[in-house]
Structure 1
Amino acid sequence: MGHDHSHAGTANRSRLAIAIAIIATVLVVELVGAWISGSLSLLADAGHMLSDLTGLIIALVATIVAARPATDRQTFGYQRAEVFGALINGLILVAVAVSVLIEGVSRLLDPAEAEVQSLPMLIVAIVGLVANVCALLVLRGGKESSINMRGAYLEVLGDMLGSVAVIVAAVVIMSTGFAQADAIASLAIAAMIVPRALSLLRDVVRVLSESAPADTDVQEIRDHLLGTEGVVAVHDVHVWQITSGHPVFSAHIVVAQEVFAHGGTGELLDRLGSCLHDHFDVEHSTFQLEPEEHASHEDSHHR
């Protein structure tokens, strides 16, 4: 994590503010367009966009809260606020998908409800597509630095795909008169929302359950530390995340007696910290150094 998290947080807040302005404007356009055209897929896309807008606002608030400094009570700061923001985003996505699914099935079963005006539906969907592309370009730079920003990016990406589905449905209706294409498109939008929501919620659960990051091989870290001169054994290893991209590491390190005898513990700590930082991008690491005779007392309690 060699980049500057403070700078990244400021940049992410700017990206979110711009995206919020874009999405809010198009949301109003889509709601009016859905009312005029009677299109469920356009209304579904507007509902998805409303969830995006809510999620983006939550994400913006979360990045502001996460930037607050650590205190004696919140010793890691407020970075986990981003994870809670992503959790709310995921739940909103699930709720939107379920409601669109129910209404879409209802329209398929009752063709009389499926009548729509395809021209305004098409025009508004094209406007929505252009706006979503712009919002995606704005958010793209921050999606790798934060689980919260990734959630916002994925939501807008889903909106873009939703706009494409509405455009296809409008063209089909204009060409063939098959009005139920609108309901089918709304179901396609719901189907696109669910996997993204579940993926985001899975990442949230991984952080909140303090699992090791998905791309972290704990055994590889242990082997690297064991290869450090003066290290005899490594046990009681823990790797977790405060939020996405902020891994934390702790371990008990059994050290050769001569390291203690010659006052080399400070140098060893520097080497261990550098090992984690350079090879595994871990900035926050804690080591408990133990002489061999002390470690033998812990064998029955730690692995």
Structure 2
Amino acid sequence: MSQSHNHSHAAGGGNEKKLALAVILTGGFMLAEIAGGLISGSLALLADAGHMLTDFASLALAWLALRIARRPATWKRSYGFDRFSVLAAFVNGLALFLIAVWICWEAYNRLRDPGEVLGGLMFWVALAGLAVNIAAFWILSRGEKGNLNVRAATLHVMGDLLGSVGAIIASIIIMTTGWTPADPLLSVFVALIILRAAWRIVKESAHILLEGAPEHLDRREIAAALTREVSGVERVDHIHAWSITEERPMITMEVVTAGDTDMDNIRREIKDYLRKNFSVDHATVEIKRNDVDCVAVNFT
């Protein structure tokens, strides 16, 4: 008998509120930082403002993804809309790559043709930006650590935080020594840090979008464990593992049992074992006896 299941997982309301507050903080200060960068002539401030612009869009996208993920599953989308949050994380990671490339290009132009930089104004604007970014980072860091979408949003804010630190250091160097190349050089350093973190987000989100197996679900280990730990299991074949989001791993398998075993009991034991030892709440198990052509299929 088939069973109807709602595969939609409601996104955490706490994450939505945290992201909404981060959007307001980031968007509000972005305007001030753009003005400060234009008046002071600081590339570090303009680079940080440009990154903050992508942050504003990315945080808004992350917030929207959580809202969409709350929609219930339909017959067309039986797993719901959770995967949209992974797509948002992927887009946010790519945005980090683009802004880092832009910062490096602008830094190159500034090193070729240095301009005047008002170190004092640059310092105070960067200091205010640091305070805003620390507040936003603290808010987001208290969200769900396992949510790739929230992690990508937090990474954007962390990049802004580092950018503000870089701008503060550059402004101090400029005020004390007058050496303006410190501004573009520190901008490049921050961009390289952003690139390293962005690669991790893009790699993880792309792995999920390509239906890659979660790291903790090695089919060889699973087959050996079930054969060893669940009485009556003789062989486990055709194991396929993937995830809808980082928090929602899925697995299907075909299990061959001895002829005198209780198929329903083995199915329950397998599901319990997967839940307790591999954190898999959704498993589709096909069970076959090795002496008769009898198949039981379970969907959960």
Cα pair 1:8 1:145 within 8 Å, conserved:
no
Instruction: Give the distance between the partners of 1:293 and 1:39, measured in 2 at CA.
Output: 77
Percent identical: 36
Instruction: Give the distance between the partners of 2:257 and 2:71, measured in 1 at CA.
Output: 38
Equivalent residue, structure 2, for 1:288: 286
Deviation at 1:6, TM superposition (A): 5.5
Distance 1:215 1:132, change over 3 A: farther
Cα pair 2:10 2:71 within 8 Å, conserved:
no
Q: Which amino acid aligns with 1:246?
A: R
Cα pair 2:11 2:67 within 8 Å, conserved:
no
| Counterpart check, 1:43 vs 2:46 | yes
Instruction: State the TM-score, normalized to the length of structure 1.
Output: 0.90
Q: Which amino acid aligns with 2:25?
A: I
Q: Which amino acid aligns with 1:239?
A: A
Could you list the per-position Cα deviations for residues 155-199 of structure 1 after superposition, in whole angstroms to 9, with x for gaps in the alignment?
111111111111000000011000111111221222122112211
- Counting helix residues as a fraction of each chain, which structure ranks higher? 1
Cα pair 1:8 1:142 within 8 Å, conserved:
no
Q: Which amino acid aligns with 1:287?
A: V
Instruction: Give the distance between the partners of 1:187 and 1:284, measured in 2 at CA.
Output: 45
| Counterpart check, 1:52 vs 2:55 | yes
Question: What RMSD in Å do the two structures reach over aligned CA positions?
Answer: 1.5
The structure 2 residue matched to 1:31, chosen from 30, 34, 41, is 34
Cα pair 2:120 2:175 within 8 Å, conserved:
yes
Aligned residues: 285
Distance 1:178 1:294, change over 3 A: farther
The structure 2 residue matched to 1:105, chosen from 81, 103, 108, is 108
Deviation at 1:88, TM superposition (A): 1.3
Instruction: Give the distance between the partners of 1:20 and 1:83, measured in 2 at CA.
Output: 19
5+ residue gaps, structure 2, are: 1-7, 294-300
Equivalent residue, structure 1, for 2:276: 278
Equivalent residue, structure 1, for 2:4: none
Q: Which amino acid aligns with 1:277?
A: R
Deviation at 1:220, TM superposition (A): 2.2
Cα pair 2:259 2:292 within 8 Å, conserved:
no
5+ residue gaps, structure 1, are: 296-303
Give the 5 Å matches for 1:128-277: 128-226=129-227, 227-259=229-261, 264-277=262-275
Instruction: Give the distance between the partners of 2:123 and 2:292, measured in 1 at CA.
Output: 73
Deviation at 1:209, TM superposition (A): 1.2
Could you list the per-position Cα deviations for residues 12-52 of structure 1 after superposition, in whole angstroms to 9, with x for gaps in the alignment?
11110111111111111211110111100110011111111
Report runs of 4+ in structure 1 exceeding 3 Å deviation.
Answer: 5-8
